[in-house]
Amino acid sequence: MSMMMSPLISSVHFPPISEVKRWVAERPDDGKQLIDLCQAVPDYAPAPELTEHLSRLLSDPLMSKYSPDEGLPEVREAVCSYYGRKYGAQLSPDNFCLTIGASQAFWLAIVSLCRAGDEIVVQAPYYFDHPMALDILGIHGVYAPFSEADGGLPNPATIESLISDRTRAILVVSPSNPTGAITPADTIRVLLDIARRHNIALILDETYNEFIPGCLRPHELFSDPAWGDHFVQIASFGKTYALTGYRAGMLVASDTFIHHALKAQDTMAVCQPRITQQAVKFGVENLDEWVKTNREMMCRRHDLFRSEFMAPGNRFRLAASGGFFAWVQHPFENCSGRQAAKRLLDKAAILCLPGEVFGPGLERYLRLAFGNIREEAIPEAVQRFREMGV
Ligand SMILES: Cc1ncc(COP(=O)(O)O)c(C=O)c1O
């Protein structure tokens, strides 16, 4: 191809999940069944009552039409009540914009906050799509380093020390992808106070918020009457209701912030598909028990994974873990995460992601999305790690 591409996009690496899935296609068949720990996708189907409900709605001619950019009022009303239950929040439908996954909500947040050349302080290890988006837009990610001693949690003092005149936001993911670590509510509060002191935003990506053990409230920020002045939340229903392909995300912010974000929404997506909006409405109105059952199942998977992985005789070391994810150190000397992941695929038919896609200097780590595999498959998966020679 000879036409000129934007150097901003040319220099961004190819999407990591697509990269490692290509390795699978190239792998000779040795009869060993692949254990796929690469992508965070619930392995179970959506609730049958949800899919039955949607199939009935499909014949409604309205279902194929645009909706208002921010989403249907009745859906945002239903989400408001859910936020009342989950966060003790008294929000208004004007605080919500339904989006094409949390991914698009993130784009709305950053294009509303930043111009090219601005900075965002990002906690590492980060969700790789975030710096990819920042790089494409010419926004500089300034990375708060991963510290094993801090359990992969954000250290507010470190984050504050990275704020400059160009900083427009602090970005944290909790529960974390890739470590699974849950940032305590008190720390989230301190991060909002820092954002407030510097008159910047705290962007909190809570894609995995329904997988916090015991359904503890993730934070109390929405109870602060001034929350909307500095807080922007990225939410996803994709993992919650096992609807990742429906692209069910949401931006939550002050009504003024949403007002501006809708200008970008109109040019990017116009609206979340109506059928997805109906799925969200059905979910928040009917599926609390279904979500609880799956949360408990994920907790059992996590407990089992930890105990199997940490039993003596495993040269891979668990550095952090939580719902869906384990963040492990591989034992191979002079070997990048990519090389280690490739070796695991070639020798053990395990697919996982290399640490370096989650931040600079993280080549010694791998991310395992054990939320992808059933409880009964976990011992076999861990056994394959144990059997890997160094
Ligand atoms: C932290 C985080 N944010 C956002 C997303 C994207 O979510 P969605 O599928 O709703 O766009 C993911 C997906 O894995 C994620 O891990």
Cα Rg, the chain, nearest whole Å: 21
Pinpoint the residues of the chain covered by CATH 3.40.640.10: 48-286
CATH number at 9-38+290-386: 3.90.1150.10
The minimum-distance atom of ligand 1 relative to the CA of 244 is 9
Centre of ligand 1 from the C-alpha of residue 106, in Å: 9
Pinpoint the residues of the chain covered by CATH 3.90.1150.10: 9-38+290-386
Centre of ligand 1 from the C-alpha of residue 28, in Å: 31
**Ligand 1 pocket member 38 (CB < 6 A):** no
Centre of ligand 1 from the C-alpha of residue 331, in Å: 29
The minimum-distance atom of ligand 1 relative to the CA of 237 is 10
pLDDT for res 369: 94
CB 37 within 8 A of CB 366: no
Q: What pTM, to 2 d.p., does this model score?
A: 0.96
pLDDT for res 390: 63
Residues 6+ apart with CB under 8 A from 193: none
pLDDT, tens only, 354-365: 999 999 999 999
Q: Please name which of 379, 372, 386, 309 lies closest in space to residue 36, comparing C-alpha atoms.
A: 372
CB 207 within 8 A of CB 42: no
Q: Using CA positions, which residue lies closest to atom 9 of ligand 1?
A: 101
Spans of the chain below 50 pLDDT: none
User: What residue has token string 């949403």?
Assistant: 258
Give me the DSSP letters along 121-188.
EEESSPPTHHHHHHHHTTPEEEEEPP-TTTTT---HHHHHHT--TTEEEEEEESS-TTT-----HHHH
pLDDT for res 39: 87
pLDDT, tens only, 14-30: 999 999 999 998 888 88
Element holding 48 (H helix, E strand): helix 48-57
The CATH class of 48-286 is alpha beta
**Ligand 1 pocket member 174 (CB < 6 A):** no
**Ligand 1 pocket member 127 (CB < 6 A):** yes
**Ligand 1 pocket member 102 (CB < 6 A):** yes
